[in-house]
Amino acid sequence: MSEPYAESGTESYASRAAALDATDELAKLRAQFVLDDTVYLDGNSLGALPRSVPGRIEDVVRRQWGSLRIRSWDESGWWTAPERIGDRIAPLVGAAPGQIVVGDSTSVNVFKAVVGAVRLAGGGGGQGGGARGEARDEILVDATTFPTDGYIAASAARLTGCTLRPVAPDEVPDALSGRTAAVLLNHVDYRTGRLHDLPSLTAAIHEAGAVSVWDLCHSAGALPVGLDEHGVDLAVGCTYKYLNGGPGSPAYLYVRRDHQPRFDSPLPGWNSHADPFGMTPDHVPADGALRGRVGTPDILSMLALEAALEVWDDVSIEAVRTKSLALTDFFLECVEAYVPAGAVESVTPADHGERGSQVALRCADAGEVMRRLIARGVIGDFREPDILRFGFTPLYVGFADVERAAGVLGGLF
């Protein structure tokens, strides 16, 4: 039997694609998604719809809500959904159960995590920080971050009496000092697709006595993360990209088990109370990951996500990573073959150790080029000022899609 995704000599790219698809152990999963004859390379923005979701939503709305009504909080497992679905995401990001809760947007979870991190570090000069005058008064933030993380980190810094310092991820080890309270980094850069070195950066952050917060939006569901293995302190991520949870599906918050007793959420709503129905005036935080909850969960979105995650039942994240790298390698190779020299330039690292599951191509007039690609059935997206972004979701993208996308792109020049 041939090795999966092995090089196969000098055949045409189309026949190589067919051979790669024929030996792809994940190819059968595509049937679990609603897709058409376009090439969908935008799963790093909004994952495709899993076939299990519409029926589940129908049941949640008609039976659980329409018929059981309030009883569903217990009988349909609505109340415990944030922890239950967190435990379903946990193996995909290398976390043992009991450390992830689902709910709120990524932005809100970034806020909880960054303020929580400063408090864990005993840092900050103001409310909620350590003793006034304590040295840990700096938050480092990925200077190339998706904007929401930067905006929220700036507000978290103001609230905790810290200074915010934007730093490129590679420069974080040199920027760390005894003043650093928390560091917020992206695992994969949303524009370039660059994968940052989570194990070594986390180790450096710990060596400086600071607390790490990782944004996993562009890595969860695309590659192994190893949260527990690498001792990550806090992490957040969305579920509408590689986890296919649907537009606006709730995000999640990971709080490492040994930090949980000291995790002091800046949004202590009644859902994170030890006795939520005790209705007491003071907040007594619940034990465990539940501390990350805030208010009433968004049940419709959350249970759509739970159905979407069933796709992963027999899928290993390692197999997904192997295919992801094969897809992006093959795309880069086809682009080189089909697109006239100099028309595009990849800003995604060639090195597998530094590549997420997307390819970003710099190109003149990229907005117009993407519009024409979409009109020809190849769906990626455009990021300012000059980036064509293509995301590769190994659960439903095949090698023939990749070859076709590169061919259509080449035809535009």
Give the contact letters, 158-197, x = binds to ligand PLP (CB under 6 A), - = no. Answer: ----------------------------x---x-------
Least distance to ligand PLP from the beta carbon of 196, Å?
12
Q: Is 404 among the catalytic positions?
A: no
Measured CA to CA, the distance from residue 40 to residue 401 in angstroms comes to 8
Q: Is 146 among the catalytic positions?
A: yes
Give the contact letters, 293-322, x = binds to ligand PLP (CB under 6 A), - = no. Answer: ------------------------------
Q: How many CA atoms lie within 13 A of 119 on its CB side?
A: 19
Q: Is 241 among the catalytic positions?
A: yes
Distances (CA, A) of 128 to 77, 124, 161, 270, 293: 34, 7, 9, 19, 19
Q: Is 413 among the catalytic positions?
A: no
Nearer to ligand PLP, 146 or 399 (CB): 146
Tokens (6 digits) for 227: 């949260």
Least distance to ligand PLP from the beta carbon of 382, Å?
14
DSSP code for 64: I
Lookup result for tokens 């599951």: 357
Measured CA to CA, the distance from residue 25 to residue 313 in angstroms comes to 15
Q: Using CB under 6 A, which of 23, 32, 38, 148 touches ligand PLP?
A: 148
Active-site residue (options: 389, 390, 392, 399): 389
Least distance to ligand PLP from the beta carbon of 105, Å?
3
Active-site residue (options: 179, 241, 293, 323): 241
Nearer to ligand PLP, 186 or 348 (CB): 186
Least distance to ligand PLP from the beta carbon of 55, Å?
26
Distance of CA 298 to the CA centre of its chain: 19
Contact 356, 195 (CB under 8 A): yes
Helix (H), strand (E) at residue 34: strand 33-34
Least distance to ligand PLP from the beta carbon of 187, Å?
9
Question: Which value, to the nearest 10 degrees, does the dihedral of the CA atoms of residues 22, 24, 29, 30 take?
Answer: -60
Nearer to ligand PLP, 106 or 271 (CB): 106
Least distance to ligand PLP from the beta carbon of 181, Å?
21
User: Is residue 409 a contact residue for ligand PLP (CB under 6 A)?
Assistant: no
Q: Using CB under 6 A, which of 5, 40, 78, 146 touches ligand PLP?
A: 146
Contact 88, 309 (CB under 8 A): yes
Q: Is 142 among the catalytic positions?
A: no
Q: Using CB under 6 A, which of 201, 251, 317, 359 touches ligand PLP?
A: 251
User: Is residue 107 a contact residue for ligand PLP (CB under 6 A)?
Assistant: yes
For residue 98, which phi and psi values (nearest 5 degrees)? 85, 15
Q: Which residues of 342-378 are buried (b: 16+ CB within 10 A; e: fewer)?
A: eebebbbeeeeebbbbbbbbebeebeebbeebeebeb
Least distance to ligand PLP from the beta carbon of 118, Å?
19
Measured CA to CA, the distance from residue 79 to residue 210 in angstroms comes to 34
Q: Which stretch binds ligand PLP (CB under 6 A): 84-92, 143-151, 342-350, 393-401?
A: 143-151
Q: Using CB under 6 A, which of 85, 153, 162, 238 touches ligand PLP?
A: 238
Residues 197-236 that bind ligand PLP (CB under 6 A): 215, 217-218
Measured CA to CA, the distance from residue 134 to residue 119 in angstroms comes to 12
Pairing of strands 100-102, 49-50: unpaired
Q: Which stretch binds ligand PLP (CB under 6 A): 20-28, 51-59, 101-109, 279-287?
A: 101-109
Q: Tell me if residue 177 falls in helix, strand or coil.
A: coil
Contact footprint for ligand PLP (CB under 6 A): 105-107, 146, 148-149, 186, 190, 215, 217-218, 238, 251
Residues acting as catalytic residues: 146, 215, 240-241, 389
